[in-house]
Structure 1
Amino acid sequence: MFTYPAHQAADILFCKANLVPVGQDQLPHLELTRTIARRFNDRYGRLLPEPDALLLGTDGTKMSKSRGNAITLAATADETAQLIRGAKTDAQRHITYAPQSRPEVSSLVLLAALCTERDPHEVAEDIGSGGAAALKRTVTEAVNEHLAPMRERRAAFAQDRGNLRRILREGNERANAIAETTLAEVRSAMGTHY
């Protein structure tokens, strides 16, 4: 119970993540991660990024596969469109990117911005007074276009279980190599070589 937040911080910091998909309930853990990174950097030099929270679920609550409010690679384009159509917004017609005052709308705007590699303020400005329907249409198109090649590759990989296991093993090896590199950098910064 007491070590979980520190383990979560290690999981985030080993790969030097700068964005973490979390819900409201995980924000204190993410803030602890940011504090750990900030204190390490203050003491040993700028090495670890202070990650930011990424998105809410499509219903405005914690993103969770079990709640059915997360967009998965396994989802079809139609399933994605249905999920986004059901996403929570607000009553204001003019779309803006204001994460503090309009978190649900801003979450959708950010999702479209990330998928199109644009600034969220520009995306919101383009939608303007189009309202929630235009926002959801924009997000759906952006997400489905962005995920289409990944979904194709995923489907191809799923056809060959042996190849899939190999890919997972190689991914695990890459993650371990990244962790070892980060740990070596941390030890060097701290002057604790073993």
Structure 2
Amino acid sequence: MIITKIYQAAMARADLREEDRKDFYFYVDEFQNFATDTFAEILSEARKYRLCLTIAHQYIGQLDEVVRKTVFGNVGSMVSFRVGAEDAVVLAEEYTPIFNVRDIINLGVREFYLKMSIDGELSEAFSGKTLDVNYPETDHSRAIIEASRQAYCAPREEVEDMLLKWDEGGVDAPLSAKAKNNMVIQETEAFEAPLL
């Protein structure tokens, strides 16, 4: 449902001049769970409406044939980490002549191959390695949670009282002074349709 809404919003941009269309980024992990005919249409149409898609999934066999062809026919940039032999055969076609099936199968931990679209032109494939991310020495999570509670929370009794009043009469329960201060909405920040 969300994907269909995003697709409809992207298509609504048809009335905008191309230079007035702003990039909108849509990230889909576990793409195979959303790989419908609608998504195939999005892949075909997205670029001209400045809908920038980033899709990720584990292996190519998860995609049906129509979606698979649409993905490989429309993808701009592609990143691949180590994969199995079956996927390596498909991906080698994308990375040829720089990398072959054996190269793709033998990638090490955190190593990848990448083919990029730069200003509409495809680069030659190249290799890279992700950064080694070290955990911070200081854990700031408790301070962040406390700051969030101070800014956005009300005492439990106040919330329970508010919910009780709301449940009994359907009346809007009063908000705490802190909550009212944090609910500043300015009309100038309202979005006009379409959102994309």
Comparing both structures, which one devotes a greater share of its residues to helix? Answer: 1
Q: Which has the higher strand share?
A: 2
- Which has the bigger relative contact order, CA under 8 A and spacing at least 6? 1
Between structure 1 and structure 2, the one with the greater Rg is: 2
TM-score by length of 2: 0.31
TM-score, normalising length from structure 1? 0.32
